Amino acid sequence: MCRLKDMNAAPEIRPLPYIGEVLEFIIRNFSHISDKTNGKLRKNLSRYKTGELCPPNEAKALLVIHLPNAFQNSETGKILFKFFVTSTSLYADFVTQINFADLPASTARQVLSQHFVPMILKVIPDQTFSQFSIDINEIFGNPNDATKIVWAAYLSKRKSTASELAAELTKKIGIGEKSHYDSIQNWIKGNPMRVGSVIKILELGDPYHDLAFALLCANAYRTYRSDYPAHNVDDITHNPLGYLGDKLSSEFIDNIRNAAFNQGVNNGDIVVSPESLDEQKNYAVFRDYIYGLVNPAIEKSPEMFAEAYNQIKYVESECKNLAQNWELGVIVGLFYVQADQHKRAMAVLSKACDYQIYRNGPAVKSILEYLLVIAAFNKDRSLLRKWRGWARSLGVEIDIRYPEMLFYKKFPPENYYPNVDKNSHFVKLQKAMQVGFLVTSDWQDRAPDLRNPNRKIKGFNSVPSPQMSVFAKTNQPQKVKELLEAGANPNQLCENCGSALLNAMQAKNSEAIELLLPVTEVSVLNTQSRQTKRTCLTVAVENGDPAVVERLLEAGAKVEQRAENNSTPLFVAVGNFIRNLDEKHIPLVINDATLNAHPPFMGSSSPFKETQLAEARSDMASLLEVPEYKKLWDKMIGFHRKNAVSRANAVEIVNLLLANGADPNSKHMHGFTPFLHAAEVGVKDVFFKLLEADGNIREKDAAGQTILLAMKSRGHNDLAEETVGRLKTEDAVWLRQQPDPAGYNPSRSAPPQFY
């Protein structure tokens, strides 16, 4: 037997600060509002200081409510506000990626104070300090003198004396002049400042905004350093974050991991010795052995069940805190699932998640891989609400629309332990496999229910659908007309598939479109479908019908309304020029829409959308190595070419969107813009149309790719040279100087065929 290490009591303070601690620090140091006197604020922060993650929109809302109005009324304030919002998102991303479980809170927070915080502060916009010629490293090296440094720099820039400035501010503030004069003199000398006093200066408006913001930042850093002293932070000379949007770079995460390990070794929290290495090896051997007994992918014999049962009981008796030893906790959970004891499995896994949050982000995600699926299968709404909310607040997209299929793909019934009634599970599996198939002919003879025109019917989708949407999707405009005449509501939405108009457009049902477009409300025109994230305008653009695109725009469709992957109609319109695809384009063609088009039994067993996409791409790449599947792929490409949007229509749609204010620089979820997409596609006149519409020459996508790299990596060398020749000298030089993104490897060995 392996001797299991068991740490009994969890420390009171988590190694990673709760998001509420971060928000509390921002509000206390940049606002005159105190959570000590504001009950509602105190209640909100207390939720986020006891383990509940704060979704980015809630964090932003708290900051909007409780930070001074000046943050929205000045450019520096807006930049700082954006920095705060971004920082909370970055921290949520950090929490999911870092493992500090082996460190006590004191050591973990020492690492954060030494490395994470200074690097985050490096992205405080230059406007805050550099306008006063202050190097932030000077603030880092002298936190106790931070506000004194700001006052001195401000006086130097204004060429004023301390007494002159004190008199000026005292007159502006106008209350208790003598005391204010003395206070300001003392602040200039470096005495501590109350946040409320700085807010009074901030409220004076221009020209004191920038001074007040710099003082707030300096004072906040001094306050932070009084609680968490650090050394050697003044040697940080660049910003290694490398984040785009709300994600941290892998380099940054690796730096923090290495720093945490080294600090743990130095403090004696992590012991590296032959004995400890041997213990780790013994544990790994035991863990792998017991996992082999519970592995859901292998068939179980009666002997395996007996051995698994004995080992699980040994683990439960020797390791009292399975929440802390999460790998064994997952193994115990897997055993109970396959022994048909789902409640016990969920209890073990949920406790493990509770313990690991703000300690070990990767462990939480690994546990949720199972827990979300099991909870959804068992319809445990309480657990599901808690952990799905947690995942979403971290920006992890969840897709558990078909819980039975997810469950049985993860836990095949044929591999349950012999004492389980497998037949009942096989019945459920067969039923789950039928979900996602639609035989259109089954709906052709179905009569509309004119007595209940807004009736929802089952069987067409995974949720009941309005009958008018069903008939619109199945090309039955006469039945749509009959329902409208009977009083059916054209703005009734299908929970997954959106409006009747959207369904008619996806079916390219022109008669139904003519019936529904005049009676569909503007708000419904701009509503995304939950399942595919499509909008009416996006589908009209994909269909290549400029007349419908124009009518939708005239009816109030938003030209910047986002669809799947957060893309805009203009981005989709540029994609209409793609004329051919090959197997190297798989990352482009397998997306959310592809997953939605697959029957559930063909999908992944993961509840995480990013994993589903990765597995789908990998599966497709493997299938294309099989000759039979390669033939099917070629047929699909032929269909795509045959049904491609005509060049004339594609150009007209781009012109319509630009004429209605479409932005060529709107980023989708991976930082790609219509302008970058036009460079990738390489259609000369379209690219230059977007350039004339103020396409951003210096834009980069999430991988660091510029328009020049997008062109050259796709073989559009002539367009690249012509573009450089048309640009201003400084822009052309900048483009040529940009290095290829680290590790960037274009997925195309030859350019695709375009118009």
Question: What pLDDT digit, counting tens, does each position of 656-670 carry?
Answer: 999 999 999 998 866
Instruction: Please give the pLDDT value at position 179.
Output: 63
- The answer, yes or no, to whether residue 61 has pLDDT greater than 90, is no
* pLDDT tens profile 679-723: 988 888 899 999 999 999 998 876 678 899 888 877 888 999 999
Cis amide leading into 569 (omega within 30): no
* pLDDT tens profile 513-558: 999 999 999 999 888 887 667 889 999 998 889 999 999 999 999 9
Distances in Å between the Cα of 81 and the Cα atoms of 84, 125, 570 are: 5, 11, 30
Instruction: Please give the pLDDT value at position 15.
Output: 86
- The answer, yes or no, to whether residue 307 has pLDDT greater than 90, is yes
Instruction: Please give the pLDDT value at position 520.
Output: 93
Cβ 604 vs Cβ 611: under 8 Å: yes
Mean pLDDT, the chain, integer: 79
Instruction: Please give the pLDDT value at position 655.
Output: 95
CA distance 568 to 730: 30
Instruction: Please give the pLDDT value at position 742.
Output: 43
Choice among 256-265, 306-315, 464-473, 597-606 with the minimum mean pLDDT: 597-606
Instruction: Please give the pLDDT value at position 661.
Output: 94
Cβ 507 vs Cβ 470: under 8 Å: no
Percent of the chain with pLDDT over 70: 76
State the pLDDT confidence band at 626, using cuts at 50, 70 and 90: low
- The answer, yes or no, to whether residue 164 has pLDDT greater than 60, is yes
- The answer, yes or no, to whether residue 5 has pLDDT greater than 60, is no
More confident residue, 209 or 345: 345
- The answer, yes or no, to whether residue 342 has pLDDT greater than 80, is yes
Measure the CA angle with vertex 613, ends 607 and 615; round to 5°: 85
Quick one: average pLDDT of 317-331?
A: 83
Quick one: average pLDDT of 627-650?
A: 66
CA distance 195 to 710: 48
Quick one: average pLDDT of 222-234?
A: 66
- The answer, yes or no, to whether residue 564 has pLDDT greater than 70, is yes
- The answer, yes or no, to whether residue 4 has pLDDT greater than 50, is no
Instruction: Please give the pLDDT value at position 282.
Output: 84
State the pLDDT confidence band at 63, using cuts at 50, 70 and 90: confident
Helix axes 361-377, 381-393, angle to 10 degrees: 140
More confident residue, 53 or 131: 131
Token pair of 735 as six digits: 């483009």
State the pLDDT confidence band at 123, using cuts at 50, 70 and 90: low
Instruction: Name the H helices within 319-410.
Output: 326-338, 342-356, 361-377, 381-393, 403-410
Residue that is written with structure tokens 């509309």 in the block? 448
State the pLDDT confidence band at 293, using cuts at 50, 70 and 90: very high
Quick one: average pLDDT of 41-50?
A: 71
Token pair of 504 as six digits: 């008619």
* pLDDT tens profile 17-37: 888 788 888 888 888 766 566
Of 364, 354, 390, residue with least CA distance to 54:
390
More confident residue, 319 or 370: 370
The residues near 418 (Cβ < 8 Å, ≥ 6 apart) are 300, 301, 302, 305
Quick one: average pLDDT of 258-282?
A: 72
State the pLDDT confidence band at 306, using cuts at 50, 70 and 90: very high
State the pLDDT confidence band at 361, using cuts at 50, 70 and 90: confident
pTM for the full predicted model: 0.65
Cβ 525 vs Cβ 552: under 8 Å: yes
Residue that is written with structure tokens 């013994």 in the block? 282
Quick one: average pLDDT of 51-61?
A: 72
CA distance 381 to 365: 19
**Sign of the dihedral defined by the CA atoms of residues 254, 256, 262, 264, in that order:** negative
Token pair of 266 as six digits: 């130095």
